[in-house]
Structure 1
Amino acid sequence: MGTNRRNFLAAGATGTAGAVLATPNLASAQPRIRWRCPGSFPKSLDTLYGAQEFIARRVSEMTEGAFQIQMFAAGELVPALQVLDAAGAGTVECGYTSGYYYIGKDPSLALPCTIPFGLNTRQTWSWLNHGGGRQICAEVYRDQGVVGIPAGNTGAQMGGWFRKEIRNVGDLQGLKFRIAGYGGAVLQKLGVVAQQIGGPDIYPALERGVIDGAEWVGPYDDEKLGFNRVAQYYYYPGWWEYAPSIDMMVNAQAWDALPKQYQAIFEAACAEAWHWMPGRYDSLNPPALRRLIASGTQLRGFPRDVMLACYRSAQELYREIGDGNPRFKRIHAEWDKYRLDQEAWFRVAEDSLANLLAVATQQRG
């Protein structure tokens, strides 16, 4: 190798090293941002509230601490059912909550979250991110002053806790039941007195007899909240919440002002949390259900006639809402078309095998 070539390579290596050393890290290159994020869930629920903490941690890690989000549980900064209001008004930069808590503002807010007899977890993610769901629902969120980003999903929920057995449709008459979203409107058609109560307030209402029953999420969370101590019968399935998607609702102006790189990081953290949550629940719910049954909880399935009556009531409700709200009708039509395709596919590839395995496992046992 000639002298000139050796000098050239040495100079190149030195220059490259200098360039690397001179490159600032992300934290110093990007603006330092501090956001506040109230949520609709108590800290005792380490999966629902834990998803908030998960998002904050991932955003901080991916920005080397430059973007920090301070998380607040329900009631610490904002009441549980006013998180969307605070984020939309710009009182806070974002909030972690479920769209179906706010159907009084716009019935379409339920569709990207969940509606009775809806999509399962995988289908929900598919519709939101590959079936045009997020795009078609963006206008709904913008009308509330926010950008909605899917950031959690509980998976299929349970049907709730009751002081008495539900043997037929007549047993629903006059029942005072805590339930969120359109599940309450469906049950009201069958005589139930539906009440929406924030998570921290459900146990005392059930204990004092203000309500006769309550639904929340599933065995792991329900055990933590102690519902088995004040109600004996635990029903399934939670047909009104097959796979509710929880949103990070970001103030629209705060989102638009966020650097594009931070937007991408925020989206990535929310997507991680969305999948982290059902995975964690799938791990924690089976042993929790065994503990509840061992402690005396009576596990019951809703009778078939009750389920079919609720299904018919739900379809009637959607027609009524659509007649009064063209946007709901339009989005629901797109959603329902996607649902039918998904059901046809899952019957072939997923449900057939799941049903076989259920029978085979029983026979083996």
Structure 2
Amino acid sequence: MTTRRTFLKGAAAAAPAAALAAPAIAQSTIRWRMQTYAGPALAAHVIDPAIEMFNQIAGDRMQIELFYADQLVPTGELFQAMQRGTIDAVQSDDDSMASPTEVTVFGGYFPFGSRYSLDVPVLFHRYGLDEIWKEEYAKVGVQHISAGAWDPCHFATKDPIRSLADLQGKRIFTFPTAGRFLSQFGVVPVTLPWEDIEVAVQTGELDGIAWSGITEDYTVGWADVTNYFLTNNISGAWIGHFFANQERWDELPEDLKTLFKVVADQSHYYRQHWYWGGEADLRVNGDKLQLTTIPDAEWDTVEEAARIFWDEIAAESETKAKVVEIFKQYNADMQKAGRPYRYGDDA
């Protein structure tokens, strides 16, 4: 593929002399292309405000052009495109963009790795995950900028789910690791472009979605094509990140690096209250999805399976074992801390 740098060199060589005589400030503006995992409706909340803020503050010094899910490259190729420099920055989880790192399996929804959205920043900033992620991405030429929490992972389906037996044979759009875990309960994981999901549910290609919480279901239109929402979830918060090509990142002056980090943090903060409030409001006041629940005693078997899954992941490498141990220690600490951090064995 033609890289951005090669394209710009060719364009400059072919440009008329008059065009090259633009004001110096315009010529010196740093321009990045960034792609998010999210489609336009979701991006309006999870990324648009942050990039608009960055561009407004940076002004003529730097501008970021934002692209939505699959616009420049398929989501599964985001990492490779960023590593090559075809795309300068990415907002995604590790899992969806097929990151070739030891921590990829923990991105997105690692089964029962978190209970609440605040677990994610605490895990990264107080329990050491941030250092591990930065080390892993430095090995592959990518700058890990920051991690944040998104929504919990629930099923939105056409038919009601009231027991584990109801999951048998259901074709579900979900994340790679979540799909790997859920397949033991009869779920058939399906991977499709994000923008095709709504139509795939309408045509029967999909039976449902395990990609988000109820806020996204309403925001992106999935609540219009599904009928039921399962209140049990396999994770309390999606783990997503901001990344940049290492060379492009290293070229930025320190104040622009700081500005990018600040707007990323602002984006994380916005999602904390947007999702948290939305999940509650739409369960209570939403009029499109009927709530269903798998009884606690039955759902406990899913949590038990997650503990086995964790140990299977830990056995794959030393780094994965280190991350799993952090998850175990954190959850044990939260359980001992009690309310409001955890609410007993059935939290």
**Same fold at TM > 0.5:** yes
TM-score under structure 2 length normalisation = 0.82
Give the residue type in structure 1 aligned to 2:120: T
**Structure 1 pair 191–104 and aligned structure 2 pair: CA distance change class (3 A):** farther
Out of 162, 165, 169, the position equivalent to 2:160 is 165
Question: Cα offset for 1:36?
Answer: 0.5
State TM-score, norm by structure 1: 0.78
For structure 1, which runs of at least 5 residues remain unmatched after alignment?
1-26, 356-365
- Structure 1 equivalent of residue 34 of structure 2: 37
Q: Which residue of 1 aligns with 2:18?
A: none
Summarize deviations over 1:329-358 as a string: whole Å, max 9, x none.
Answer: 12221232223223322x1444569x9xxx
Q: CA-atom RMSD, angstroms?
A: 2.7
Q: What's the CA shift for 1:255?
A: 1.3
> Match for residue 24 of structure 1?
none
SS in 1 for 2:185: coil
Please name the residue that 1:66 is paired with: 61
Inter-CA distance 114–192: structure 2 relative to 1 (3 Å threshold): closer
Question: CA 1:300–1:56 in structure 2 vs 1: closer, same or farther (change >3 Å)?
Answer: same
Alignment match of 1:140 (pick from 133, 136, 139): 136
* AA in 1 matched with 2:137: Y
Q: 1:205 Cα deviation (Å)?
A: 1.5
Aligned-pair CA distance for 1:165: 2.6
Distance 1:273 1:226, change over 3 A: closer
Which residue of the partner structure matches residue 274 of structure 1? 268
| Aligned counterpart for 1:109 among listed residues 101, 104, 110 | 104
Distance 2:108 2:209 in 1: 20
For residue 304 of structure 2, what is the aligned residue in structure 1?
312
Q: How many angstroms apart in 2 are the aligned matches of 1:198 and 1:236?
A: 25
**1:131-210 mapped onto 2 (5 Å cutoff):** 131-150=127-146, 152-157=148-153, 159-210=154-205
Q: 1:67 to 1:152 in 2, by over 3 A?
A: farther
* Structure 2: distance between partners of 1:343 and 1:53: 36
Partner residue, 2:314: 322
Residues 33 and 66, structure 1, Cα contact 8 Å, conserved in 2 = yes
Q: What code does the residue aligned with 1:44 have?
A: A
Compared with structure 1, are the counterparts of its residues 308 and 182 closer, same or farther at alpha carbon in structure 2 (3 Å cutoff)?
A: farther
Alignment match, 2:216: 221
Once the two structures are TM-superposed, the CA of residue 258 in structure 1 deviates from its matched residue by: 1.6
* CA deviation map 1:249-302 (0-9, x unaligned): 11112112221221111111111111111212234444444554x34x321123
Q: Which has the higher helix share?
A: 1
Q: 1:87·1:95 contact (CA, 8 Å) conserved in 2?
A: yes
Residues 28-63 of structure 1: per-residue CA shift (max 9 Å, x gap): 7xx631111011111122xx4433222222323443
Q: What's the CA shift for 1:306?
A: 4.0
Post-superposition shift, 1:103? Answer: 5.5
Q: How many residues align?
A: 319
- Cα distance in 1 for partners of 2:168, 2:339 equals 38
- Kept in 2: contact 1:179–1:197 (CA 8 A): no
Does the residue aligned with 1:266 lie in a helix, a strand or coil? helix
Q: Distance in 2 between matches of 1:343 and 1:112?
A: 23
Contact kept? 2:95, 2:176, Cα under 8 Å: yes
Matched residues in 1 for 2:259 and 2:158: separation? Answer: 46
Q: Which ranges of structure 2 fall in alignment gaps of 5 or more residues?
A: 1-23
1:124 paired with 2:120, answer: yes
Change (3 A) 1:283 1:276: same
Listed one character per residue, the Cα deviations across residues 78-114 of structure 1 (whole Å, up to 9, x for unaligned) are 2233222211221111011112214573452233554
- The answer as to whether partners of 2:145 and 2:261 remain within 8 angstroms in 1 is yes
- 8 Å contact 1:199–1:216 — kept in the other structure? no
1:95 to 90, 93, 98: 90
In structure 2, what is the equivalent of residue 5 of structure 1?
none
Distance 2:312 2:75 in 1: 29
Per-residue deviation at 1:77? 1.6
**Partner Cα distance (1:280, 1:167) in 2:** 28
Aligned partner (choices 227, 230, 239) of residue 225 of structure 2: 230
* SS of equivalent residue, structure 2 residue 175: coil
Query: Which AA in structure 2 matches 1:213?
Result: G
- Aligned position for 1:335: 327
Query: 3-state SS of the aligned residue for 2:196?
Result: helix
Cα distance in 2 for partners of 1:67, 1:104 equals 27
Q: Is the 8 A contact 2:111 2:234 kept in 1?
A: yes
Q: Which residue type is aligned with residue 272 of structure 1?
A: Q
* Separation (CA, whole Å) in 1 of partners of 2:267 and 2:224: 31
| Partner Cα distance (1:126, 1:65) in 2 | 36
Counterpart-to-counterpart distance in 1, 2:299 and 2:102: 23
Q: Which residue of 2 aligns with 1:11?
A: none
What SS is found at the alignment partner of 1:44?
helix
Output the CA distance in 1 between the equivalents of 2:85 and 2:307: 36
Deviations 1:193-224 (A, max 9, x none): 11233421211111111122212323332123
Partner SS, residue 101 of structure 1: coil
